[in-house]
Structure 1
Amino acid sequence: MSEITMKLKEISESLNDEAIAFAQKLIQTPSISGNERDVADLLIAEMEKLGYDQVFRDDMGNVVGIVEGSKEGPTIMYNSHLDHVSPGDANNWEGYNPYGGEIDICAVDDQDGNSDQAECIHGRAASDVKGGEAAQVYAGAVLLKLKEEGYDFKGNYMFTGVVQEEPAEMVGMVHLIDQTFKEKGLTYDAMVSSEATSLKLYCGHRGRVEMLATVYGRTSHGSAPWLGINAIYKSMPLIAKIKDELYPSLPEDEHLGQASLSLNIIECSPGALSIVPDKCMLSIDRRTIPGESAETALKEIEGLIEEIAAEDDEFKADVKVKSAVETSYMGREYEVDKEMYPWKISENHPFLQAAASALEELGEPVKYGYWDFGTDASKTAGIDKKPTIGYSPMQEQYAHTPYDKVRTDFLKRAMVGNAAIYLKVVEAGEEAFEELEW
């Protein structure tokens, strides 16, 4: 083990208790999407206390902290989101307060999902993403102490906490990169996400497109349905084609799995018992793989609509990508399409290999994986094509559940792991920051 690796472990061990206490504070601070101000304040105060070289909040409410190396070099963004989903019914939490941040020894899974016992912090967002967030903030603290002790390293360690990730429109991340970074003259060369990975290195995920197909009819009185055209009935052939023809034909990626499609909401209008509906709206969740896009997904549904219309003169329908208006706690408003991009990084990419080498030097097992869900990496990797990975102490199976928790031993390992990854990748050379291809 090298001298600097030994020093990293020594410094990290000295900060373990503080990092765990900070994770508790984060969990004890509610921050449902659109209401992240208190947790943003907490993060800013903590990074200022730790001595980050730059700390600021942008006009969207995103939080940024930067640890500056002593030499010029790449900027690695370590990213978490500030928001979390509702805790739901508190009665389902089996004695834990969703915002309690209690610590105890409990049944939990190990790195490979096998049954184990470990010390855990309980509460909403412990596994999505406040456990990982604490590990990232305190990895910066490790680097600060390393610098204080006279060790030189290059580049910039940049922590970013973004708003409104959970609604899945990337609005906080897009504003941060496309607006805030440009205004402040900042750039980034690669990103490490804190989304749950069980200490594995995650290499990608499918994209997501939310579509709305509307089938049209004509109203009549419910007592005389023959005078109208029932939009619900007219939607049935489209539903059947989506389920029986389109879904089974979707392509598959060797790493990310099969593209998928799910019809999740059906609504009708006017929606009164005595009126034959003249609109039936189908909300479709489409998961895409590299090579697919919102445009290709729309064309698939449009093709089915054309097939049915060719056989039924009364059939009329259209489809579009859904949109939403998101307003941040700072009052900044965006209307955004509900689309997230698929992406992956090759396990042979120099950035990923440098990260793996860093973990190996710590004595950590190196394993790879891919997320089932989407993340804000759809912006950094899917759009910007920057090298992106996931590395986190949190475990995916506990996210959004009333069993939400994070292992304290994993949090400690992730803190030193994040710092080691940073030091290794900034020395990896220009090839480590080559644009992603798939």
Structure 2
Amino acid sequence: MKELDYDKIKEVAESHREDMTRFLRAMISHPSESCEEKEVVACIKEEMERLGFDEVKVDGLGNVMGFMGEGDKILCMDGHIDTVGIGNRDNWEADPYEGYETEELIYGRGGSDQEGGVCSAVYAAKMMKDLDLIPEGYKIMVVGTVQEEDCDGMCWQYIYNKDGIKPEFVISTEPTDGGIYRGHRGRMEIRVDVRGVSCHGSAPDRGDNAIYKMADIIADVRALNNNGCDESTDIKGLVKMLDPAYNPDHFEDARFLGRGTCTVSQIFFTSPSRCAVADSCAISIDRRMTAGETWESCLEEVRSLPAVKKYGDDVKVSMYMYDRPSWTGEVYQTECYFPTWINKESAPHVKALVEAHKALFGDERIGCEPSMDKRHRPLVDKWTFSTNCVSIQGRYGIPCVGFGPGAESQAHAPNEITYKQDLVTCAALYTAALNLYDGSAASSDATEFRAGLTTNDIK
């Protein structure tokens, strides 16, 4: 392992501040919602080629990959390059794609979530080449992944199964509020369908209103999220998984990750007309899963709700499948289930980032004041939301750890910003951490918790 000059690493990272600002603003300028990433892929590919990456390619799904070095083993930095939409344009104080910059910040859709992370990773790889800091026997991979906002980790199912690329470990560059993140809750997308019978709206008693049935079910879903879990509660709330009485094997991990949640995210109906009784209704449920919960238990919880049981065979509870074509036209069908995962704090890939942070910046979180409302959280922590790591670690057991520019609170919000200093900080930390990683210390027990997979054999 080479002796690292941490002051030099910080100096070189700082020298790239203007270039990283320019690159991130270029990425932001290309609208890139899921399945529409073609232009931003071209932008990233061009930048990688300009910076002298040894190999740059775009795979069949549309992920853009750059490689530095010639080793047989791979250390990877991942960032998704798709964004959510802008929502109500009136909520934005400036054009979300033209954006703007000040001395401290960059404004625009995707700056924090999460093209800023890709920007820092690209320049970290350049720094490693320029400083002769590509670890012996390895190549450095930077990947800009597609469709994460639509289907977390599906891009990595493709990379693992179709491209046949299996890194030794992966740094996720999702925003982390200045922290090093070793896990997060999983999630799944549940659909509930209810049948009714239509009739003329002037005599609604002749029909069977599916919307009214669904209203009862929605009330129960809300109770499942909001209720406590004492014995007298009919619908025991999801907070129960923090209690050893309900989750004896995993309550401590659940307390680290936080409780599971559920919310109704979409509603649909069919009706012959506006003057008729609705004959079907469906909802989508966004279900966040903590340690100890399984895809089966989550479906069964909904099936066991009093209103669902009341309406019997008129109700169907199922898990969504995802099959939207990518920007290249490729379809990779997968279930909308994204496993929970946690790494041990003692795992070598987690320790590499912690040691790099302490050597470069100390043992407390740093960052620009406006983005550090949670400055006093532990340096090593977890995400609130979900990332591509649901596949990288959750499905395939490839160790992951997170450190990325920007704030979680900026994700999916109007007037999204990220900070120039964060770009510099992350480029420096990635450069050091990938050199402090001790692959010889890696073992199969680095994972503290991984949720089980379904019986589907998805290749």
Given the two structures, how large is their TM-score scaled by the length of structure 1?
0.87
Q: Which residue of 2 aligns with 1:78?
A: 77
Task: Compute the displacement of 1:275 (Å).
Answer: 2.1
Residues 101/417 of structure 1: CA separation in 2 closer, same or farther (3 Å cut) = farther
| 1:100-139 mapped onto 2 (5 Å cutoff) | 100-105=98-103, 119-139=104-124
Q: Name the SS for the 2:121 alignment partner.
A: helix
Q: Which residue of 2 aligns with 1:116?
A: none
Q: Which residue of 2 aligns with 1:244?
A: 223
Q: Which residue of 2 aligns with 1:110?
A: none
Q: Which residue of 1 aligns with 2:440?
A: 429
1:377 to 379, 389, 393: 389
Q: Give the counterpart letter for 1:358 in structure 2.
A: A
Residues 432/130 of structure 1: CA separation in 2 closer, same or farther (3 Å cut) = farther
Task: Compute the displacement of 1:356 (Å).
Answer: 0.3
Cα distance in 2 for partners of 1:16, 1:244 equals 49
Say whether the 8 Å CA contact 1:385–1:437 is kept in structure 2.
Answer: no
Cα distance in 2 for partners of 1:271, 1:11 equals 66
Say whether the 8 Å CA contact 2:225–2:261 is kept in structure 1.
Answer: no
Q: Which residue of 1 aligns with 2:279?
A: 278
Residues 271/325 of structure 1: CA separation in 2 closer, same or farther (3 Å cut) = farther
Residues 282/32 of structure 1: CA separation in 2 closer, same or farther (3 Å cut) = closer
2:148 is the alignment partner of 1:165: yes
Q: Which residue of 2 aligns with 1:234?
A: 213
Cα distance in 1 for partners of 2:155, 2:308 equals 40
Q: Give the counterpart letter for 1:168 in structure 2.
A: C
Q: Give the counterpart letter for 1:407 in structure 2.
A: Y
2:50 is the alignment partner of 1:49: yes
Residues 126/83 of structure 1: CA separation in 2 closer, same or farther (3 Å cut) = same
Cα distance in 1 for partners of 2:222, 2:123 equals 47
Q: Which residue of 1 aligns with 2:86?
A: 87
Task: Compute the displacement of 1:307 (Å).
Answer: 7.2
Q: Name the SS for the 2:198 alignment partner.
A: coil
2:348 is the alignment partner of 1:350: yes
Cα distance in 1 for partners of 2:445, 2:210 equals 51
Residues 15/307 of structure 1: CA separation in 2 closer, same or farther (3 Å cut) = closer
Q: Which residue of 2 aligns with 1:322?
A: 320
Task: Report the aligned-residue RMSD.
Answer: 2.4
Task: Compute the displacement of 1:419 (Å).
Answer: 0.7
2:335 to 323, 334, 337: 337
2:130 is the alignment partner of 1:145: yes
Task: Compute the displacement of 1:151 (Å).
Answer: 7.8
Q: Give the counterpart letter for 1:64 in structure 2.
A: M
Say whether the 8 Å CA contact 2:343–2:446 is kept in structure 1.
Answer: no
Q: Give the counterpart letter for 1:41 in structure 2.
A: A
Say whether the 8 Å CA contact 2:339–2:394 is kept in structure 1.
Answer: yes
Cα distance in 2 for partners of 1:315, 1:223 equals 27
Cα distance in 2 for partners of 1:245, 1:404 equals 32
Q: Name the SS for the 1:55 alignment partner.
A: strand
Q: Which residue of 2 aligns with 1:223?
A: 202
Q: Name the SS for the 1:361 alignment partner.
A: helix
Aligned length: 412
Residues 432/11 of structure 1: CA separation in 2 closer, same or farther (3 Å cut) = farther
Q: Which residue of 2 aligns with 1:203?
A: 182
Task: Compute the displacement of 1:428 (Å).
Answer: 4.7
2:414 is the alignment partner of 1:402: yes
Say whether the 8 Å CA contact 2:168–2:398 is kept in structure 1.
Answer: yes
Indicate the larger mover: 406-415 or 218-227. 218-227
Residues 388/227 of structure 1: CA separation in 2 closer, same or farther (3 Å cut) = same
Cα distance in 1 for partners of 2:393, 2:273 equals 46
Deviations along 1:142-201, one digit per CA (max 9) or x if unpaired, are: 001012xx8864412110111111113433222122111x2xxx3211111111112210
Q: Give the counterpart letter for 1:142 in structure 2.
A: M
Cα distance in 1 for partners of 2:98, 2:380 equals 32
Which structure is higher in strand share? 1
Residues 303/38 of structure 1: CA separation in 2 closer, same or farther (3 Å cut) = same
Q: Give the counterpart letter for 1:170 in structure 2.
A: G
Q: Which residue of 2 aligns with 1:108?
A: none
Task: Compute the displacement of 1:350 (Å).
Answer: 2.5
Q: Which residue of 2 aligns with 1:298?
A: 299
Q: Which residue of 2 aligns with 1:361?
A: 359
Given the two structures, how large is their TM-score scaled by the length of structure 2?
0.83
Residues 9/138 of structure 1: CA separation in 2 closer, same or farther (3 Å cut) = same
Indicate the larger mover: 342-351 or 39-48. 342-351
Task: Compute the displacement of 1:101 (Å).
Answer: 4.2
